[in-house]
């Protein structure tokens, strides 16, 4: 399964919002430095979908706020 994800780093609250088109907006506390926001994104998505972290992969947009995430259940 693939999901389009928009990341908002440096947020005060960590939360996930599902958009009308099926994409996700994820608010992260981590700054977008040294891949910290990407690591937090994978952790948050793993908790939401109740799957291990190694089942989630950033397919594109590693250095962007718009990402394509691949989820293997």
Residue with tokens 């992260």: 28
pTM: 0.92
Average pLDDT, the chain: 95
Q: Quick check: 73 pLDDT over 90?
A: no
- Does the structure show a pLDDT above 90 at 27? yes
Six token digits for residue 10: 């440096």
- For range 26-52, the mean pLDDT: 95
Question: Residues 73, 19, 15, 53: what is their CA dihedral angle, to the nearest 10 degrees?
Answer: 20
Mean pLDDT for 43-67 is 95
Neighbours of 23 (CB within 10 A): 15
């Amino acid at each position: 399964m693939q999901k389009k994800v928009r990341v908002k780093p440096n947020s005060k609250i960590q939360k996930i919002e599902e958009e009308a088109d099926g994409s996700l907006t994820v608010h992260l506390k981590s700054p977008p430095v040294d891949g910290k926001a990407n690591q937090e994104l994978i952790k948050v998505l793993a908790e939401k979908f109740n799957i291990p972290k190694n089942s989630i992969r950033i397919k594109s947009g590693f250095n962007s706020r718009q990402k394509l995430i691949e989820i293997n259940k």
